[in-house]
Structure 1
């Protein structure tokens, strides 16, 4: 069957016409327009064997989610046309285990992506339409430090999580907000590049989305979902950890320095060199520990870590100081009534904090609107306790060195202590270099403190530390496998009923924690790290395996809220087995994600599985 359908591209671009062809082997192929011949290559395709088909109440829309989690949203021109398509899908999906070999694949290295199964009908409130979301987004004002929200809620992240704007009055789903931001960047970049390369098409571009290294599986999947909603297809998207991207940038800079005859940095990026990357961003400080291999790839030698000590903590302290100087009510009124002046002052705070040194004063230009607001409530302008600590000359507020040092001290001390503890770990023995990257790395006070404390190591801060992640992401996008090995952050396990052959019998009736990856275990990228036998009963069409994580020193034996937490599940969609069967579950990892493939031990046939962490 073939014909014209409308495909949902993204929130902004909505549904657009595409030509689809459903082949005999269950592939739904997409073309820009009707293909001129059968050999014409499709722009995109999805395997609808064992796929879920979700028909919407409007009679036109229907969604397809494949067995490996790939999804597409479609709209037919009429209800009859939709029924014709869905009936064809049902015929493909009605196959039993032995009916068609094409349901299966013998390739056990297939990739499975993260996704969340659609909820059952009646379990979710009415979804807002794209028009509703767009209108609501237009009503919202600037979102205040949106990116810090994800690290804050790592342990309880959900698709339904919402974000309020700076007024606290308007609210949108966080997933929609991030999708809006990603699509805005997508549109802007593509338009600019198109001006230079007129024959450029969307499929010619591969996108790299960077995330903090300390984000857990659910936060990473959240960003993948947002990118998908923004219209970026998963085949053209790579997720990269920001510190590692910055490391590739610094490594590339060093190669260029040597190529032009400049003095190198004492072997910091030679084969076998070990280094820390301290990514000093706005919300978080992310630290990765890597070793350079002979191939030029990186191997992780300690799991990524960090904490909430980014540059925004300094911004918060400076704004707290301004509230103390001028009065809390005065600053609140200024923010509400003079939005443009507030945003301009916020930018100045961000830039000025980077120039503070141990013996210098900070000078901050204050908007006239704030001075007027302050004079209304206090003719003396300043609160009494700050008269000896700050001076206002015309519209320049001058902070004494003691005041500024106090603002920075706590955060810098925490970063230094954490880095030192990391260097004391056995896995990081031999580290000779510390790379400082990210916007906060431009702060002279922070750089001086790090170089003073770690004077036995080479501390490098590139000329544009805030661009290091961006440049490195481009480099990683041109590499097949930039990262070849990782270290597990937690003990990962799956729930297992006592009595299964693989483990000793336990007298407890509670579920056992079957360890699949141990904390601190080296993991080779794209290689199966563990296998697990899973029984399948007669006529079973899908199976769910719960995934747990534990931060204890040793993996727990019994699953309980005291020693582990549920982080997601594996969903296996199956044909109707006409017999009892056992599946061999193979779990591997890509650079940033889990991948799962199930193999029927009787026939050797394989099924791709879906890992969901956004429950």
Structure 2
């Protein structure tokens, strides 16, 4: 990573998913030494020209969601235009791996060309990505992404939800009453949540038994609220009622420690809060092992993200995957993504090869071919000589196929010409699908099942007397970056270039 021209550059990385109470951020000013990247709450004068914002997102995030965030940054005055290069998106598993390798600088050579399965266990999602670093002279030259990022909704918040369901059941409150409790006692509920967070992350696998008890304090304002709303009961009565209702659950009884104002729960019950999300993850990994070549390639399994602090979570994954891999963990799983995002801000080209998550295409109107086109979609168009030409409307023309290797240095080039004489612009829709098909044998259409409309692009033509079939416009699609970028070049005059805006539609099936 080259730091030669960055001594005035301000990198500001933001992770909206790292904290239950808000966003977390880190800053580095003209320095990419790992020890110099620290959280900050200083007053910072934002300059649109020198501040590089880096926003962390899950690898499976929608393109439209990134566009919404870009619009928000512009409306907040943090970037000077909607297309500003001063806002970068980075994929969380990728930057976590970047931070890991920065932490391992003294022994980088042992990782050269090793295939690293990154398990990014965050708050909402768990993302899985297979990466391979290329290391030259003990420096990271580049990363290659070897698989389409995968993942699902079995992150830390789903464990929290199970705990909250238990707490609501213990208090014997319906949904509206529980919501009112959280609104009336915000400090007490925040304290309760913080205690649970510490317990969730700190408990060891061998402590999740019916013999290991753990205390959770119930604050005075919550107890006062409960007494006010249900004066006939005290907390101990609620404990007894809960135990009676759940006597056949197979889990240990809960207890009330009156002297410490604490609820005493046992490890087997805490383990039960993990079980639903962990089982979803087990099923997901098991399906992945049966249907994918990923694990045949994997040499190292690397844990990052806040949930990776959990000993039980890591051991559950290791048990599911087996002993054929080397397992390692980010030194600071809950900060690794932010630190890696700062490094990414200095060198966003460090991840130079990715895999396409979808088959992308544009909607075209090609010459009608009765062997592959639907006859009901045939349309007649007159050219400049008033000749009638049979075309097929709404055809999915592939630009890039799902799983294809995409390189930062190699945009996909497509040449377009106007259909009509004196046409001022070409407007075409960008679509995507996960379907596998051979477009030489069969066509997909804009309204085919599994085709999603993403947005539209307007490709303008300058005023010209050049014949229609000579007015070629080269459109360059950049899919390897963390945002889709599209540029045009007017080939009769290559000095005419422009970055095009992909106006996103609402995603629809």
* TM-score normalised by the chain length of structure 1: 0.63
Query: Which shows bigger deviation, 326-335 or 214-223?
Result: 326-335
The answer to whether residue 504 in structure 2 is matched with residue 613 in structure 1 is: yes
Distance 1:403 1:191, change over 3 A: closer
Task: Within 5 Å, give how 1:247-396 maps onto structure 2.
Answer: 247-256=97-106, 258=107, 267=110, 270-294=111-135, 296=140, 297-329=142-174, 331-360=178-207, 361-375=213-227, 376-377=229-230, 378-379=233-234, 380-382=237-239, 383=242, 384-386=244-246, 389-394=253-258, 395-396=261-262
Q: Which residue of 2 aligns with 1:567?
A: 454
Q: Which residue of 2 aligns with 1:417?
A: 283
Distance 1:486 1:243, change over 3 A: same
Shift of 1:319: 0.5
Q: 2:273 aligns with which of 404, 407, 426?
A: 407
Shift of 1:309: 0.8
Find the residue that maps to 2:192 and give its secondary structure. Answer: helix
Contact 2:116–2:302 (8 Å) recurs in 1: yes
Shift of 1:428: 5.3
Distance 1:492 1:445, change over 3 A: same
Gaps of 5+ in 1: 1-144, 149-165, 167-177
Distance 1:185 1:227, change over 3 A: farther
Q: Which residue of 2 aligns with 1:582?
A: 472
Distance 1:491 1:449, change over 3 A: same
Find the residue that maps to 2:299 and give its secondary structure. Answer: strand
Contact 1:374–1:381 (8 Å) recurs in 2: no
Distance 1:362 1:213, change over 3 A: farther
Distance 1:333 1:238, change over 3 A: closer
Contact 2:124–2:157 (8 Å) recurs in 1: yes
Q: Deviations over 1:544-585 (max 9, x none)?
A: 210111112336523325121101122224433445233232
CA distance in 1, matches of 2:124, 2:432: 25
The answer to whether residue 363 in structure 2 is matched with residue 495 in structure 1 is: yes
CA distance in 1, matches of 2:165, 2:151: 25
CA root-mean-square deviation: 3.4
CA distance in 1, matches of 2:436, 2:98: 32
Distance 1:423 1:247, change over 3 A: farther
Q: Which residue of 1 aligns with 2:324?
A: 456
Find the residue that maps to 1:363 and give its secondary structure. Answer: strand
Shift of 1:420: 4.4
The answer to whether residue 389 in structure 2 is matched with residue 523 in structure 1 is: no
Q: Which residue of 1 aligns with 2:308?
A: 441
Contact 1:222–1:614 (8 Å) recurs in 2: no
Find the residue that maps to 2:85 and give its secondary structure. Answer: helix
Shift of 1:306: 0.6
List structure 1 segments (4+ residues) > 6 angstroms apart after TM superposition.
181-186, 188-191
Find the residue that maps to 1:523 and give its secondary structure. Answer: strand
Shift of 1:190: 8.3
Shift of 1:334: 2.1
Shift of 1:473: 0.9
CA distance in 1, matches of 2:39, 2:422: 50
The answer to whether residue 324 in structure 2 is matched with residue 467 in structure 1 is: no
Query: Which shows bigger deviation, 570-579 or 433-442?
Result: 570-579
Shift of 1:231: 2.5
Shift of 1:355: 2.1
Q: Deviations over 1:423-455 (max 9, x none)?
A: 552355321111111111111210221233332
CA distance in 1, matches of 2:335, 2:25: 21
Find the residue that maps to 2:486 and give its secondary structure. Answer: strand
Shift of 1:589: 2.4
How many pairs are equivalent?
427
CA distance in 2, matches of 1:498, 1:302: 33
CA distance in 1, matches of 2:327, 2:246: 37
CA distance in 1, matches of 2:126, 2:188: 29
Contact 1:541–1:573 (8 Å) recurs in 2: yes
Find the residue that maps to 1:410 and give its secondary structure. Answer: helix
The answer to whether residue 439 in structure 2 is matched with residue 594 in structure 1 is: no
Contact 2:131–2:145 (8 Å) recurs in 1: yes
CA distance in 1, matches of 2:52, 2:200: 35
Query: Which shows bigger deviation, 465-474 or 407-416?
Result: 407-416
Shift of 1:504: 6.5
Distance 1:147 1:272, change over 3 A: closer
Contact 1:568–1:612 (8 Å) recurs in 2: yes
Shift of 1:276: 1.2
CA distance in 1, matches of 2:299, 2:398: 34
* TM-score normalised by the chain length of structure 2: 0.75
Contact 1:325–1:386 (8 Å) recurs in 2: no
Distance 1:289 1:599, change over 3 A: same
Contact 1:536–1:582 (8 Å) recurs in 2: no
The answer to whether residue 73 in structure 2 is matched with residue 227 in structure 1 is: yes
CA distance in 2, matches of 1:216, 1:427: 23
Gaps of 5+ in 2: 1-14, 29-37, 208-212, 378-392
Q: Deviations over 1:180-232 (max 9, x none)?
A: x799999x98872769xxxx966333221111111011112222222222333
Contact 1:547–1:570 (8 Å) recurs in 2: yes
